[in-house]
Amino acid sequence: MTSREPRFNQHVLIDTTPLPDHIPKVQEIGASSAPLLSASYFIGARCKAYNDDYMQCKTEANGRGELDCMREGRKVTRCAASVLEDINNSCLTYFRKHWECLENNNQQLWQCRRFEGKLNNCVFEKLGLEKKIPGAPENEVQVHLRKRQIFADSIRDQIPWPEAVEKARDERDFGKAQ
């Protein structure tokens, strides 16, 4: 069996070609995934029209059109940046607690519901943006508004809660009897 050492000719690939002049300049957002996930539903609510325009452009270009759709993409970026700025100005404490919780809990939304509720209320009161999950049935309560959450890795999913408590008590009492 033969093998050879890999040879890399370039370590870092950076395209330094400037964008054409007809494409408007925009400051990149520069946020990590946790703040973007925390604000994603509000970005979706306010920037829906821009997102739809961008996706329509990409669809009409058969998934290509990187340069053709750059103008629409820049509008999406500007809109998302404005939402993040408004949330930072209006609800910074709740926003920071929520995205830090997401960062520390593997980006699992269900782990951070208590911070999420406070953030959702603040954003609704101050910015008028409401969290709605796309594609959720209209006649059902959305998952983040449910009184009792259902967790995938919880024992409550396997055994109904009152029965689980009784079972634990029985096991405890049974252990003492022996």
DSSP letters along 124-152, please? HHHH------TT--TTS--GGG-SS---T
pLDDT on residue 109: 87
* The pLDDT of residue 125 is above 90: yes
pLDDT on residue 170: 62
Rounded to 10 degrees, the C-alpha dihedral 143/113/118/44 comes to -60
- 70-116: pLDDT as tens digits: 889 999 999 999 999 999 999 999 999 999 999 999 999 888 888 99
- Residues 47 and 112 occupy one common structural domain: yes
67 vs 36, residue with greater confidence: 36
- Residues 123 and 152 occupy one common structural domain: no
Average pLDDT, the chain: 81
25-34, 59-68, 162-171: lowest mean pLDDT where?
162-171
- Residues 113 and 160 occupy one common structural domain: no
Q: Which two tokens stand for residue 6?
A: 């890999």
111 vs 22, residue with greater confidence: 111
- Residues 115 and 173 occupy one common structural domain: no
Residue 52 lies in a domain: yes
- Residues 161 and 118 occupy one common structural domain: no
- Residues 58 and 128 occupy one common structural domain: yes
Residue 24 lies in a domain: no
Q: What Rg do the C-alpha atoms of the chain give, in angstroms?
A: 24
- Residues 118 and 171 occupy one common structural domain: no
- Residues 105 and 75 occupy one common structural domain: yes
What is the average per-residue pLDDT within 156-177? 56
Residue 118 lies in a domain: yes
Range of the domain at 174: 148-178
Domain count, the chain: 2
- Residues 74 and 157 occupy one common structural domain: no
pLDDT on residue 178: 45
Contact call for residues 42 and 127 (beta carbons, < 8 A):
yes
Residue 19 lies in a domain: no
- Residues 128 and 63 occupy one common structural domain: yes
Q: How far is CA 32 from CA 60, 94, 160, in A?
A: 30, 17, 38
Contact call for residues 124 and 94 (beta carbons, < 8 A):
no
The pTM of this model reads: 0.68
- pLDDT confidence tier of residue 156, bands split at 50, 70 and 90: very low
Share of the chain above pLDDT 90, in %: 40
Rounded to a whole number, what is the distance in angstroms from the first to the last CA of the chain?
Answer: 64
CA 52, CA 119: separation in Å to the nearest integer?
A: 26
